[in-house]
Amino acid sequence: MLVGIDRPEYLDKALFAVFGKLLDPIDLLKAKDLAYPDPEFLYLPKWDRMGWLK
């Protein structure tokens, strides 16, 4: 699992660092389908401000 990957180029760099290759187009589409529908919810500084991390 990769948390905080909000741009395709970040995903490419992370995958290349681990596997030495990029995702093929079909696997990239599959990965996009797995993205959380509300990225704002995953913004941890907001969780901290709301007191949810204590």
List per-residue pLDDT tens for the chain, 54 residues long: 666 777 888 888 888 887 878 778 898 889 888 888 888 888 889 889 999 987
Which pLDDT score is estimated for 13?
85
Which pLDDT score is estimated for 49?
92
State the pTM of this model.
0.43
Upper half-sphere CA count for residue 3 (Cβ side, 13 Å): 5
Q: Is 20 left (phi over 0), alpha (psi -120 to 50) or beta?
A: left
Which pLDDT score is estimated for 18?
79
Rounded Cα distance between 40 and 30, Å, is: 21
Which pLDDT score is estimated for 35?
83
